[in-house]
Structure 1
Amino acid sequence: MKTKFLLFLSLFIISFQIKAQYCTPNPTSVDGTGITNVTMGTINNTTVAETDNYGDYSSQITDVNQGLQTSFSISYDTGAGYTYETKIWIDWNNDFDFDDTDEEVYSGTTDGNSLTTLSGFFAVPASAVLGNHRLRVGGQDNGPVTPCYNDSYGTFEDYTINVVIPTCAPPAATTSVTPNCTSSQYFVEVNVTNLGSGTPSITDGTTTWPVTATGNVQVGPFAFNTPTTLTLQHGNNATCNVIMGTYNYVACPPANDDCANAILLTVGTTYNDYITDGTNLEASDSTETITTCNGLSGGDIWYKVIVPASGSITIETGDTTTAQTGFDSVIAIYSGACGSLTHIDCDDDSGPSSYSLKSVTNQTPGATLYIRVFEYANDVLGDIGISAYDVPLSTTSFDNTNFSAYPNPVKDVLNLSYTSNISKVAICNLLGQEMFKKDINASQSQIDISSLTNGAYFVKVEVDNLVKTIKIIKTN
């Protein structure tokens, strides 16, 4: 009976040994030659396309330090150039798989160039068991990359790491980013909590900041939207250098990021009179009343306007004052007070191109209206121009008795005359969009409007800084 038991046990152990092996990735294709080099510690392995696009180089071993970081680089040749999602797995518990939650140690994606290199680091847990562990690196461009990948367009390689006890104690720190909105710069606040066994310092690869004691070290400044990688150096042994990470601060939120800080628009008589520039860069979502127009996905900015005596106002978005093309805007107009706004109306694309244009009437003169502006779907960041205007029908400061404009309705030529020189004439449609503009500098003028389509227009006649606005009808 004892002999049978021992025989059964031996067969079980042999069977387990046969079955206990790592899965073999089997990508059916690869772009270019896939992974061409892996460098990590003492491993520097340059390869060509492998059979079944998998290379078992587990005989190549490099030491990694328990509780410290290990840097690496992975180079690709993807032929015509494709993005490859890339991961590194390590079998920390040596159970012949990479399924445990802590065994994916790196994830990144190549930039799409034909020849490209991913560089980074992974942390070796302080609890990592000493000795050898299988490491697998893999990439693909046709679906989620998994350690046992067997779909198309992939590339995989295996190596071995040997966890050893480090010969130095690394410094330690926590970090936070502090912006300076006035100067468009940011600082990284490094709170050093342990000096380690060396003489630490902080570097971005160009500048070095000394560390003389535990506590805060302000590193910078760096320009907005400039990523900076910082390393906490041991000072005596590079093995114990700590890559703290890559930091960035894109921009400060706009000043008019919320309703309470809405920017006041000056009311003109055309869009071009008083254009105000704005940006949705780093704008956040408001908690104000929702709009009935589609496309609100966060990132709104706010303006306000005082309703003129006419009770009517037009809000329009467009190019900036520097003629920069703005984003695909949506506007919503509200009455009331911030925190308890009432939605009046909204518009997406009634203006030229993808700009917004909305006129509201019968508003209370002197009341404040709030305008919410956002980019449709909030997937494009950039600048925008916005203007508020009201086209008056007449002016009391103009000598109407000595002014004539005929015929009206008019077919081709509008005749204008006044007792003094007319400096300029502009014609706008009922939306306030300028259709025609001309310098006159004469007491009489004939304005050719034959190119205008039939309909109603406002004609603005300027004399000595006084403006007379009349309404005409263009006919055939």
Structure 2
Amino acid sequence: MKKILSIALFSAALSAFGQTYCIPAFSNGCGGGDEIDSFTIPGISFNHSDTGCSNGAYGDYTSQTINLNAGVVYPFNITHQYGTQKVRIWIDLNNDGTFDETAELVGAASSTFTTINSTDGAIAVPAGASPGMHRMRVATRYNVEPVPCNTAGYGEVHDYSVNIGAAPGCLAPTNLSVSAIGANSATLSWTAPSSAVGVGYEYYISTSSAAPVSTTPASGSVSNPAAGTSLPNLLPTTNYYVWVRSVCSTADKSGWSTSAAFRTVCGTVTPNFTFDFSSGINECWKQADGGTPATGPTGTTSEWYESGFLNNGYTGAMKMNILTYSFNPATFNSWLITPTFNLSAGGYRVSFDYGLTEAYDTSAGTLGSDDLVQFAISQDGGTTWTVVKTWDANNSPSNTANQYVLNLTGYNSADTKFAFYATNGAVADASETDFFIDNFVVEQNVLATSEATAAANTIKAYPNPFSEVLNISNTEGVKQIVITDAAGRLIKTVGNPATPLYLGELKQGIYMIILEMKDGTQKTIKTVKK
């Protein structure tokens, strides 16, 4: 019996490799990064790495045998050095020396330009595949689906040997799908396999597309006959991948299924929250191109776009170019709207950096006669708006980093939104300016010592020299002010200070204005009385 079996396997191998297969080619080769740099099948620990671009864009690796089973789906990963790849995998199931483009296609996947170095997919070995040795062809091509005997484009092909075994007794579920996707949860469902599932199912969820292996601990489990489960404790606006396997008995588990991918949606933010626009805005920010704060926004686009703050570079802030053409006096009303915030706990503040320059320049600019930028707040999810700050021709911001801070006293809605509204008006002024915002923060209005020290360092005394009146730029965090002469002799103490300070009684000379802060720190400002 063993002798007969050996002869049969030898005959199958001879049949598989005695054929003359076409040698594919790519007219543009694979030297530009369109190669199969590594090919892995994690579920069976197959890893063929660092192969680079083969001579002639074809690698014959049939000396390597990959063991697969009929009726099983095997996740795979291929890395490249350039994106937008189309991957196709065929197995010559009837060992006739050709790869049928449709009937013998067992894997297909694509990458995008943003997933530049990786393509993930799955090899689905047909349940009726003949056991024994076969040839497998793995092909990648830039932006176009390859064919088994490819001749054109950029890409590469690898050939391998596969030994197909009988279908296992415990099969993985199929047809995974994810529904009811929220900010923090989703619902997963699947189709049960034909094999008997005595115990239930295990699932594995990850933010990485890397497939689990047999020893990977499951994220959760459900008992048979359940064909789905909820996925709790997820993060908003996050990409997830999930796999399922059958637990046919305590000693018999299937391989992991192919993955289902999904992205959670935006959720209500409970501060603290910081957004630095390092990649522009995400889907939780909205834009609108019509309406005013009095009527509310309309539309879904606007003139706001990503740029470098104060025209330094091209990324990391949001910018509005404000101009009205005399030959085309179209008025725009552009909105940039934040995610929704839950401020019901109270005690928050909002802050952001802003500035204004000449258009596409770093020099100072001035808003036109009817140009307008406003910062507004809604406590009903964006239906009605209250303007809390306006910039126009009378108070054009400087071309340096300015910071706006607002204590959100009285703003306690769980449905709060903020918005930046800009309009160019109808008057064709000569000015053309760029308005910028950056580093948007909503946080608890409690200063740590280091923050309070930093805040104190921004306090200024003016005018300096002074005659009768001395102004302190911000006394909110000041407990008292101590005034001494140049020799350190105490002249005057002002408790719970307000500004301005009336110091006309002081003689001419140098005075030290010592700000004793509520957090115990101090700041000393040297002044001159004229």
TM-score range, shorter chain: 0.3 to 0.5
What TM-score do the two structures reach when normalised by structure 1? 0.46
Could you say which structure has the higher strand fraction? 1
What TM-score do the two structures reach when normalised by structure 2? 0.42
